[in-house]
Chains A and B, each alone.
Chain A
Amino acid sequence: GESVGLHLPTLSVQEGDNSIINCAYSNSASDYFIWYKQESGKGPQFIIDIRSNMDKRQGQRVTVLLNKTVKHLSLQIAATQPGDSAVYFCAEKSGFQKLVFGTGTRLLVSP
């Protein structure tokens, strides 16, 4: 059931600012990483992915950075818009193992 008192880390930004959402992963053997966006009452939506042989990948208005040395993943959103408000999850995978999700970060964009 629901954990009483549990709350998501929240990042609040102004419209037009750049947002950076961070994620620390645990498995040094993970070789595939994905960022998902989940709006309230909806399923997660694929944003961008990156493999461990890369340290940066860019999409439309989004950039994912991977630092394997410190096991850190970040998602940068340029010119953040109100429609970007959602919960963002990072996920990691090692080989054929299951996808492991992070705890999520709530992004709030103020107009």
Chain B
Amino acid sequence: GAVVSQHPSWVICKSGTSVKIECRSLDFQATTMFWYRQFPKQSLMLMATSNEGSKATYEQGVEKDKFLINHASLTLSTLTVTSAHPEDSSFYICSAEGRGETQYFGPGTRLLVL
């Protein structure tokens, strides 16, 4: 149980385009989902907390207009990187809070912006 999926697993796009990443909790309902970003050899950096049916809460320094988050249902949250640029290239990971306080992570999405 407690499986979280992400799609796509990797994406290459041209600078200026937008990219949508989906995060799904497959076998449990998640009222709260989280989006992280991870650079090579570094720890996870929380970008935003996504609550079902309400606006996401962004961490300091994260542009909410650039990283659009939608949590339309208890099993799906999406992150859209708008007008992507090479500096947005990174590993994006979502997690879902299931039973209790434990966060279960998706497999990650590697984004490369050319």
Listed in ascending order, the chain A residues whose CB lies under 8 Å from chain B are 1-3, 6-8, 32, 34, 36, 41-46, 49, 89, 93, 98-99, 101-104
- Tell whether, in the assembled complex, residue A6 and residue B93 are in contact, meaning their CB atoms are under 8 Å apart: no
Count of chain A to chain B residue pairs whose CB atoms are closer than 8 Å in the complex: 54
Assembled-state Cα–Cα distance A51/B55 (Å): 30
CB-CB nearest in chain A for B46: A98
Contact across chains for B104 and A46 when beta carbons are under 8 A apart: yes
Instruction: Identify which of B39, B40, B44, B110 gathers the most chain A CB atoms within 10 Å of its CB.
Output: B44
- Do A6 and B41 have beta carbons less than 8 Å apart? yes
- Taking a contact as CB atoms under 8 Å apart, the answer to whether B107 and A103 are in contact is no
User: How far, in whole Å, are A103 and B44 apart by their CA atoms in the complex?
Assistant: 8
Could you list 29 examples of A-B contacts with CB < 8 Å?
A2-B40, A2-B41, A2-B42, A3-B42, A6-B41, A6-B42, A8-B41, A34-B102, A34-B103, A41-B108, A41-B110, A43-B4, A43-B6, A43-B95, A43-B106, A43-B107, A44-B93, A44-B95, A45-B105, A46-B103, A89-B44, A98-B34, A98-B46, A99-B34, A99-B103, A101-B43, A101-B44, A103-B42, A103-B43
Provide the residues of chain B in CB contact with A43, threshold 8 Å: 4, 6, 93, 95, 105-108
Task: Give every chain B residue within 8 A of A8 (Cβ-Cβ).
Answer: 41
B residues 87-102 with Cβ under 8 Å of A?
87, 93, 95, 101-102
The reply on B49 being an interface residue by CB < 8 A is yes
Number of B residues near A (Cβ < 8 Å) is: 24
Scan residues 27-50 of chain B and give those whose CB is less than 8 A from a CB of chain A. Answer: 34, 39-44, 46, 49
**B104–A104 contact, CB under 8 A?**
no
The 10 nearest A-B residue pairs measured at CB:
A43-B105, A43-B108, A44-B105, A101-B43, A43-B107, A43-B93, A2-B39, A101-B44, A43-B106, A2-B40
B13 interfacial by beta-carbon distance below 8 Å: no
Given known contacts A98-B49, A104-B43, what 14 new A-B pairs fall within 8 Å (CB)?
A: A2-B39, A2-B40, A2-B41, A3-B42, A34-B102, A34-B103, A43-B106, A44-B44, A44-B93, A46-B2, A46-B102, A98-B34, A99-B34, A99-B46
